[in-house]
Amino acid sequence: MCSTCGCSSTDSISYSGFNLESSSQHHHHHHGETEVIELEKNILSRNNEIADHNREHFRSLGTIAFNLVSSPGSGKTTLLEATLLSMGPQSSCYVIEGDQQTNRDAERIAKCQAPVVQINTGKACHLDASMIHRALHQMEMKPDGILFIENVGNLVCPALFDLGESKRVVIISVTEGDDKPIKYPEMFQSSDICLINKIDLLPYVPFSVDRFKEYARMVKPEMEFIELSALTGEGLGYWLDWIKTEEGVTV
């Protein structure tokens, strides 16, 4: 069991049919609180070392990497599809898909003509830096590209794991509660921007955009927001413009 989140890390991790054993550290159960804290620190320390290696790899290529995080059903994959189709294949975009099972999302992304690697985490509830490192070896990335990492749907554990990304993007849908920022503060604190998705459903759900932003700014006062609907395309241009403003990105 992983000391940071309790997820099982004994299953093999699958990379689009290429099976590798997870490099996550294991431990026997200890009842001393000090021991558990120490093990958690060690695991995250090792993860951060690999994340720094990934970050240097991205810098050497001139690649900007976005870590897309959210709860399940927020619309991450639909947003990615709309983004890739709007930017076009000339933008040199790459995608790493994270899910516990199936290749369904990778199959959807492949139809957008973007190179994609699917990581199936088994019982693990997040991607870590070592998974990204191994997935990168399955891709032939050209310089000055854009990498989108779609993390496993979870607002808790992915907040703890630096993947080496350039920016972390948290996506919330209006079908969720508008109090998510104060219920899951670590995720919002660690994110650079928040996309409020499915705004086409606002007339039908009890979600207050103003209240949500107020809660998010309680957690992170400088948080940026983009309101959009990946399904209808409303507000998508603001998201694309934000990508363009990131250093080293040419869209």
Q: Which domains does the chain have, with CATH numbers?
A: 12-245 (3.40.50.300)
Angle in degrees, 0-180, between the axes of helices 76-87 and 236-245, rounded to the nearest 10: 70
pLDDT of residue 223: 97
Q: What is the pLDDT of residue 122?
A: 87
Cα-based angle 51, 136, 129 (whole degrees, multiple of 5)? 25
Specify whether the backbone of 75 is left (phi greater than 0), alpha (psi in -120 to 50) or beta. left
pLDDT of residue 69: 98
**DSSP-assigned beta bridge partners for residue 171:** 70, 195
- Residue 150: the pLDDT is 97
Residue 58's closest CA among 27, 91, 30, 94? 94
Kindly give, in sequence order, each residue whose CB lies less than 8 Å from that of residue 89, ignoring residues fewer than 6 positions away: 113, 114
Question: In terms of DSSP bridges, do strands 116-120 and 12-15 run parallel, antiparallel, or are they unpaired?
Answer: antiparallel
What local confidence, expressed as pLDDT, does residue 190 receive? 97
Buried b (16+ CB within 10 A) or exposed e, 229-244: bbbeeebbeebbebbe
Q: How much of the chain, in percent, has pLDDT values that exceed 70?
A: 82
Residue ranges in the chain whose pLDDT is less than 70? 1-41, 247-251
- Alpha-carbon torsion (131, 137, 139, 144), positive or negative: positive
The H or E element spanning position 57 is helix 33-61
Write down how long the chain is.
Answer: 251
Residue 18 has a pLDDT of 36
Distance from CA of residue 190 to its chain's centroid? 12
Quick one: pLDDT at residue 203?
A: 98
